């Protein structure tokens, strides 16, 4: 992903704020182009089929990775949703806990996309 701006988002189907944020992530995934990567990390390895059904039911088309807990522990994620914004050099530029609106998220990502360095 080096050279791309990435958003790493941890979520679960049972998490209300996660459910509010996911449509925003779909819009960003659809609109921001090839220099943007969404790494959607679901934390329900015991319910992969339920995650697939949830994605289909809510018309979420971005790739979802299911974490068995290892990545969540390594990233010190204990509240959902938690998102990390990573710049083109692989540096975590922001961490956000809780749901957020499209304009705030888009502003941060677009500023990093505009930074060609």
Q: pLDDT tens digits for 90-116? A: 999 999 998 887 788 889 999 999 986
pLDDT in the model for residue 80: 96
The model's pTM: 0.92
- The C-alpha atoms of residue 91 and residue 69 are separated, in whole angstroms, by 22
pLDDT in the model for residue 104: 85
Tokens of 71: 């990545």
What does residue 42 show for φ and ψ, rounded to 5 degrees? -85, 145
Any idea which residue has 């957020």 for tokens? Answer: 100
Residue 65 has pLDDT above 70, yes or no: yes
pLDDT in the model for residue 86: 96
Nearest to 8 by CA among 106, 108, 69, 75: 75
Nearest to 80 by CA among 5, 19, 6, 7: 19
Residue 117 has pLDDT above 70, yes or no: no
């Amino acid at each position: 992903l080096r050279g791309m701006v990435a958003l790493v988002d941890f979520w679960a189907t049972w998490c209300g704020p996660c459910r509010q944020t996911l449509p925003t992530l779909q819009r960003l995934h659809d609109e921001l182009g090839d220099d943007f990567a969404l790494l959607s990390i679901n934390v329900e390895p015991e319910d992969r089929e339920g995650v697939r059904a949830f994605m289909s039911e809510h018309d979420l088309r971005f790739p979802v990775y299911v974490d068995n807990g290892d990545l969540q522990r390594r990233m010190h994620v204990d509240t959902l949703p938690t998102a990390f914004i990573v710049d083109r050099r692989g540096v975590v530029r922001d961490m956000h806990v809780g749901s957020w609106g499209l304009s705030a998220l888009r502003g941060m990502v677009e500023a990093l996309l505009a930074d060609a360095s």
